[in-house]
Amino acid sequence: MKKLSLVFLLLVAALLVATRAQAQVIVIANSSVKATEVSKSDLRDVFTGAATELKDGSRVVPILLKAGTAHEEFLQAYIGKNDTAYRAGWRSLVFSGQATMPKSLDGDAAVVEFVAHNAGAIGYISKGSAHEGVKVLAVK
Amino acid sequence: MNRIAIGALVLALGVIPAAGQSLEDLNIQIHGYATQGLLYTTNNNILTTNSSDGSPAWSEVVVNVTSQPNPKLRVAVQARYFMLGLIGDQIILDWAAADYKYNEKLGVRFGKVKTPLGLLNETQDIDPSYQWALLPQGVYPLMSRTSNLAHYGGVLYGQFKLGPQAGKLEYRLWGGDRQLNSQDGVFLTRREIGIYFPNGLGGATFGAALHWKATGPLDGLMLGVSDYRNAGNWMAPILKNFGTTPGTETAARVISPNYFGIYEKNKVMVAAEYNRYPILAFMNFPSTPTQTVVGDRRSWYAMATYKLSGKLAVGVYDSQIVDHKSAFTAAQGRYMKDWTFNGKYDFNQFIYAKVEEHIIKGTDYVYDSTMNPGGLKPDTKLTVFKIGVSF
């Protein structure tokens, strides 16, 4: 019985690790955005307020997740900051009159809904989330 | 014109064309922050506070209202309450501006706008955004922050990509009018010898800044240069003998360059900056020879920070000011050197605390005789605690 419990616990742990390792984010954009791909540096510039256009001249508006795994992974993969430092960077721009704070939404579905219906919107969601009505940008 | 009215006017200019849209469409946001500091010095009283007994006379509250009625136009206004020892204790208009960004290469900001000088001038007042409780005083003097922060006029800005591996170049061109309030800390030493500026001092001013941001293997590096100039001489009425004798001050044209660089990657930040600020002014009173005020302040700092964890970062900087034309005969009055050791802890995205130790040698800056009637000692240690909340 004890051995069965141990095996069960190990299986659950392995499943959790596997799920964690597979969690990824995808970048989505409104259909008005002409680009089909975006560079990591362009993505970082847009999501840190350093730029409001992609390389092809498309004006974009970043949309954030408030919190969660996808948000943390996006910050780690493309921004290189944790959430506190990231939002502090945006506040610097707001308090120096150079930007407004980007909209933060509660979950993937809300991000997809907003991006689908707002020209220029660009956001990120978990890879496995439904994303009808938006285009996926490849990150190179 | 009432400065607060300027802020209201700028907001109206942005909002009126959007009449008929909902508040959500106008994307109106309200942000703010508040800080409270505690200063303790081992010897001299510093920054016009009674710091040798421990002084909490360092408080700040900022409120910012921003609206973006369309993707290219943003209007915003920011008000501040600031109190540091004998300075401030009033609500002021930090800035109020309309910002139209045509594209990445060209944008314009006008109203009362932050002046793009040096590495940190536009963010020196945003305490939540940086590591330090007290910035290097030679380059970013706290007692003169209100005067240096912003000007009435405009800024042209933009950026150009130089090529796939050549980075990008950001430019700022600015001009307008700068006013030094009569109660500003920049006049403190003059007030102590009985010289008052009843209308402050100001005039036309202009400048430029260039930032080169690297990409590729040097990604995270920025090198920059900025230049500040007064357009011609500034003149203002002055009073001496504690307000009884009128005269005139003529401040000669100022040319003040900054050279700076910063590298940020993962957990590390290193930065350095050099500034030169020459002063030449003439005080004229009836029946007395012209008095000349001269100075040639050359300041620099080098700093580094390291993130120990997601919440805790530590930092160190060395900062020096030397006045090459100081009137003080005692050596300690011609310079100030400051080694600073610091920690910043983010409790969450809203609340943070800073603790800092300064080892200060020399007395060229940050001291006043009113709070140090027995004279200044050459060295002082300063301990600073600061807590802040932002939203």
Q: Is residue A19's pLDDT more than 80?
A: no
Contact A41 B311 (CB under 8 A): no
pLDDT at B145: 85
Among A16-20, A33-37, A54-58, B210-214, the least confident range: A16-20
- Which residues is A63 bridged to in the sheet? A103
Cβ B84 vs Cβ B183: under 8 Å: no
> Could you say which of B97, B101, B128 has the minimum Cβ distance to residue A97?
B97
Q: Any idea which architecture A23-139 has in CATH?
A: 3-Layer(aba) Sandwich (3.40)
The stretch B217-228 carries a mean pLDDT of 95
- Give the start-to-end residue ranges of the domains of chain A: 23-139
Among A62-76, A111-125, B369-383, the least confident range: B369-383
Question: What would the pLDDT profile of B121-156 be if each residue is shown by its tens digit?
Answer: 999 999 998 999 999 999 999 888 888 899 999 999
Question: What would the pLDDT profile of A43-63 be if each residue is shown by its tens digit?
Answer: 999 999 999 999 888 899 999
Looking at every residue in chain B, the average pLDDT score rounds to: 88
Q: Is residue B368's pLDDT more than 90?
A: no
Q: Which residue of A has its CA nearest to B63?
A: A95
Tell whether the torsion through CA atoms of B281, B286, B290 and B291 is positive or negative. negative
Identity of residue A46: V
What 8-state DSSP symbol labels residue A70?
H
Q: How far apart are CA B355 and CA B132, in angstroms?
A: 8
Q: How far apart are CA A100 and CA B345, in angstroms?
A: 25
Backbone angles phi, psi at B133, to 5 degrees: -75, -35
Contact B103 A53 (CB under 8 A): yes
pLDDT at B25: 62
Q: Is residue B182's pLDDT more than 60?
A: yes
Percent of all residues in chain A with a pLDDT value above 90, rounded to a whole number: 61
pLDDT at B16: 43
pLDDT at B14: 45
CATH number, domain of B73, equals 2.40.160.10
**H-helix or E-strand spanning residue B230:** strand B221-230
Write the DSSP string, B199-212.
T-EEEEEEEEEEEE
Contact B101 A52 (CB under 8 A): yes
Contact B123 A41 (CB under 8 A): no
* Number of separate domains in chain B: 1
Q: Is residue B320's pLDDT more than 60?
A: yes
Pairing relationship of beta strands A121-126 and A61-65 according to DSSP bridges: parallel
Q: How far apart are CA B105 and CA B108, in angstroms?
A: 10
pLDDT at B87: 83
Looking from the CA of B19 toward its CB, the CA atoms found within 13 Å total 4
Nearest-CA distance A35 → chain B (Å): 17
**H-helix or E-strand spanning residue B97:** strand B87-103
Contact A96 B114 (CB under 8 A): yes
More confident residue, B188 or B305: B305
Does B233 touch chain A if contact means CB atoms closer than 8 Å? Answer: no
Question: Is residue B15 very low, low, confident or very high in pLDDT (cuts 50, 70, 90)?
Answer: very low
Residues of A within 8 A of B346 (CB-CB) are: 84-85, 88
The stretch B220-226 carries a mean pLDDT of 97
The stretch B179-190 carries a mean pLDDT of 80
Identity of residue B115: T
| ipTM of model over 0.90 | no
Question: What would the pLDDT profile of B77-123 be if each residue is shown by its tens digit?
Answer: 999 999 999 888 889 898 999 999 999 999 999 999 999 999 999 99
Contact B215 A41 (CB under 8 A): yes
Question: What would the pLDDT profile of A76-99 be if each residue is shown by its tens digit?
Answer: 999 988 888 898 889 889 888 889
Note the Cα B358 to chain centre separation in Å. 19
Question: What would the pLDDT profile of B337-360 be if each residue is shown by its tens digit?
Answer: 999 999 999 998 899 999 999 999
Tokens for A9, please give them: 């616990």
Looking at every residue in chain A, the average pLDDT score rounds to: 86
Can you point out the beta strands (E) in B241-364? Answer: 245-251, 255-265, 268-284, 291-307, 312-323, 335-346, 351-361
Domain span at residue B209?
3-390
Question: What would the pLDDT profile of B16-70 be if each residue is shown by its tens digit?
Answer: 444 444 455 667 899 999 999 999 999 899 988 999 999 999 999 999 999 988 8
pTM: 0.86
